[in-house]
């Protein structure tokens, strides 16, 4: 289990393409620089999409967690 | 608008002026046969929503910079580039879904898609393209570079889908249920990010005993939605390289119309075939490799032809062949096949949000669905599925919106 304390939890489970990344990009501004959003998703593709999006937007995927009922991705706002 | 940007816009326009584009810009006789063909106009009869009015926004710029003769320019209402006119260019590009229904009614076969392509490229030059589409295209390009770092995580997630795939089809002993990196596979299946685009296809291919491999990349191509040919090519190139690396016979595109259009028609010669998932399912049924149980799908069922798969790709009969194996209660929409109404969500509009316009401009689609009296509305494109689900809610259609692949996977006969 991740020991990161998120500033916000974002439930993106079951959304159609490309809504998870769209919602993420809309929500990142709602936390402070340095804070983390914990994303809940059921999309295998998110595990590659979110790090790629973070790369282009200057943010960072600091951790991921699998094995539970859904996937958790921890995204830190860097700018 | 400053002179430098004007110059760049003229340059962009001239680069897009193929012989076909010139013909489309010069040949319109203003007969108006395309007017009623556009779902946006049919739903909300404003002149700006006609194919001819949208094209005029681009044609008038063409008259100014690429035609000669003062009188002709005046007669043809030539306009210069300006901030105001670029708003019109935006309207041409993003109130049109690129469904090409208008083209099938035009006596000259004027391709609105080509004119829309010019509009989108002008918007990119003026930095006015929708930033959401640009962001998604850039993400896909970055993914091509970062994929080695995330492959392991993706492979774990694919493995974690096993249970849900096996619920639809039991695997033969010892087989990978969601295989990756299969050298010399017959099929490279290219899905979307969501598990709903992987699980049914995996069950169907396993049931058919296919030698297949799941792609690490997503099928959708936002480079095409935003109208940037260089990005479109780079995004598609990731999948082409993967298919070449694995020596794949056929790339099978999931239920995504744009992904199919790009891979099939916009990427030149390739050492492998390209088909849609619905064609693969039809082939399995024809070859007797899978069987379906009609009792799994009670009630009246109708089918929405996705524009990019049907009108653009010519795939009309395969989905109907599959549906005839799924139900005895299939009803056609009217009109259908080539004349089917666009769902109103294409061209990037679903990704951009634009809910008010999407609902307003697709009233005619909602009415068409309602008139079938069907309980189940199925389709073979994720973008259409999202838009049809929104229409279902907005207009209270009371249908269940389904993917053809999911209906198929749920009806697999386990023998
Ligand atoms: S391509 Fe479709 S949306 Fe665009 S003008 Fe033609 S009919 Fe209308
Ligand atoms: S149908 Fe063709 S020629 Fe007639 S107005 Fe429309 S685009 Fe022009």
Domain residue ranges of chain A, discontinuous segments joined by +: 8-76
In the predicted model, what is the mean pLDDT of chain B?
96
With beta carbons under 8 A apart, name residues in chain B contacting A59. Answer: none
Between the CA of B108 and the centroid of ligand 2 the distance, in Å, is 7
ipTM of the complex: 0.96
Instruction: State which CATH number among 3.60.40.10, 3.30.70.260, 3.50.50.100, 3.30.110.40 fits the domain covering A8-76.
Output: 3.30.110.40
The pLDDT of residue B173: 60
- What's the mean pLDDT in A59-75? 95
The pLDDT of residue B75: 87
The pLDDT of residue B181: 97
Tell whether A2 lies on the interface with B, counting CB pairs under 8 A. Answer: no
Backbone angles phi, psi at B219, to 5 degrees: -75, -35
Band of the pLDDT at B62, cuts 50, 70, 90? Answer: very high
The pLDDT of residue A3: 81
Q: Encode pLDDT of B321-359 as tens digits.
A: 999 999 999 999 999 999 999 999 999 999 999 999 999
The pLDDT of residue B174: 64
Q: Encode pLDDT of B194-225 as tens digits.
A: 999 999 999 999 999 999 999 999 999 999 99
The pLDDT of residue B76: 86
Tell whether B142 lies on the interface with A, counting CB pairs under 8 A. Answer: yes
CB of B31 within 6 A of ligand 2: the answer is yes
The pLDDT of residue B72: 85
Cα–Cα distance measured from residue B48 to residue B327, given in angstroms and rounded to the nearest whole number: 42
Domain segments of chain B as ranges:
3-129, 132-286, 294-410
Length of chain B measured in residues: 415
CATH class as words, domain B3-129:
mainly alpha
- What's the mean pLDDT in B166-178? 83
Contact state of A20 with B153 under an 8 Å Cβ cutoff: no
With beta carbons under 8 A apart, name residues in chain B contacting A57. Answer: 135
Tell whether A29 lies on the interface with B, counting CB pairs under 8 A. Answer: no
Instruction: Please state the pTM of the whole predicted model.
Output: 0.96
E strands, B244-323, are 250-253, 273-276, 301-304
The pLDDT of residue B175: 77
Q: Encode pLDDT of B115-139 as tens digits.
A: 999 999 999 999 999 999 999 999 9
Among this protein's residues, is A17 annotated catalytic? yes
The pLDDT of residue B266: 95
Q: What is the dihedral of CA B406, B408, B413, B415, to 10 degrees?
A: -80
Band of the pLDDT at B170, cuts 50, 70, 90? Answer: confident
Cα–Cα distance measured from residue B326 to residue B406, given in angstroms and rounded to the nearest whole number: 11
Measured by CA distance, the residue closest to atom 6 of ligand 1 is B102
Q: Encode pLDDT of A42-58 as tens digits.
A: 999 999 999 999 999 99
Q: Which residues between 343 and 362 in chain B have a beta carbon less than 8 angstroms from any beta carbon of chain A?
A: 351
Asked whether residue B368 carries a pLDDT value surpassing 90, the answer given is yes
Among A54, A50, A47, residue whose Cα is nearest residue A70:
A47
Residue A69 CB neighbour total at 10 angstroms: 7
Tokens (6 digits) for A12: 């993106």
Measured by CA distance, the residue closest to atom 6 of ligand 2 is B34
- The topology under which CATH files domain B294-410 is Rossmann fold (3.40.50)
The pLDDT of residue B293: 97
Q: Encode pLDDT of B273-285 as tens digits.
A: 999 999 999 999 9
- The topology under which CATH files domain B132-286 is Rossmann fold (3.40.50)
- What's the mean pLDDT in B310-322? 97
């Amino acid at each position: 289990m991740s020991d990161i304390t998120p500033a916000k939890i974002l439930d993106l489970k079951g959304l159609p393409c490309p809504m998870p990344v769209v919602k993420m990009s809309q929500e990142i501004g709602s936390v402070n620089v340095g804070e983390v959003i914990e994303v809940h998703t059921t999309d295998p593709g998110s595990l590659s999409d979110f790090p790629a999006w973070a790369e282009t937007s200057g943010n960072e995927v600091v951790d991921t967690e699998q094995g539970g009922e859904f996937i958790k991705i921890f995204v830190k706002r860097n700018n | 608008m400053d002179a430098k940007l004007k110059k760049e816009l003229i340059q962009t326009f001239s680069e897009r002026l193929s012989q076909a584009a010139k013909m489309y810009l010069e040949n319109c006789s203003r007969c108006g046969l395309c007017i009623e063909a556009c779902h946006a106009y049919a739903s909300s009869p404003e002149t700006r929503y006609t194919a001819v009015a949208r094209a005029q926004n681009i044609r008038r710029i063409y008259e100014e910079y690429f035609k000669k003769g003062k009188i002709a320019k005046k007669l043809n209402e030539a306009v210069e580039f300006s901030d105001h006119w670029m708003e019109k260019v935006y309207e041409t590009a993003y109130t049109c879904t690129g469904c090409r229904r208008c083209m099938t009614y035009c006596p000259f076969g004027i391709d609105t898609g080509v004119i829309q392509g010019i509009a989108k490229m002008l918007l990119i030059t003026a930095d006015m393209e929708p930033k959401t589409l640009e962001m998604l295209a850039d993400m896909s390009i970055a993914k091509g570079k970062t994929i080695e770092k995330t492959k392991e995580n993706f492979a774990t997630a694919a493995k974690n889908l096993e249970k849900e795939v096996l619920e639809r089809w039991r695997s033969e002993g010892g087989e990978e249920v969601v295989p990756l990196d299969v050298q010399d596979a017959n099929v490279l299946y290219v899905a979307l990010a969501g598990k709903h685009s992987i699980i049914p296809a995996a069950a169907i291919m396993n049931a058919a005993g296919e030698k297949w491999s799941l792609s690490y990349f997503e099928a959708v191509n936002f480079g095409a939605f935003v109208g940037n040919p260089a990005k479109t090519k780079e995004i598609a190139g990731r999948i082409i390289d993967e298919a070449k690396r694995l020596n794949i016979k056929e790339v099978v595109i999931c239920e995504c119309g744009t992904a199919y259009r790009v891979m099939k028609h916009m990427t030149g010669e390739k050492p492998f075939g390209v088909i849609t998932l619905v064609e693969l399912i039809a082939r399995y049924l024809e070859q007797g490799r899978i069987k379906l149980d009609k009792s799994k799908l009670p009630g009246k069922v109708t089918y929405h032809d996705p524009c990019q798969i049907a009108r653009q790709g010519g795939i009309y009969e395969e989905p109907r062949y599959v549906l005839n194996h799924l139900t005895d209660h299939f009803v056609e929409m009217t009109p259908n096949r080539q004349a089917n109404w666009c769902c109103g969500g294409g061209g990037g509009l679903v990704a951009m949000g634009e809910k008010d316009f999407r609902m307003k401009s697709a009233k005619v689609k909602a009415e068409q669905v309602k008139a079938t009296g069907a309980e189940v509305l199925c389709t073979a494109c994720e973008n259409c599925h999202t838009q049809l689900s929104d229409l279902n809610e907005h207009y209270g259609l009371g249908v269940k919106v389904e993917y053809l692949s999911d209906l198929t996977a749920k009806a697999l006969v386990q023998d």
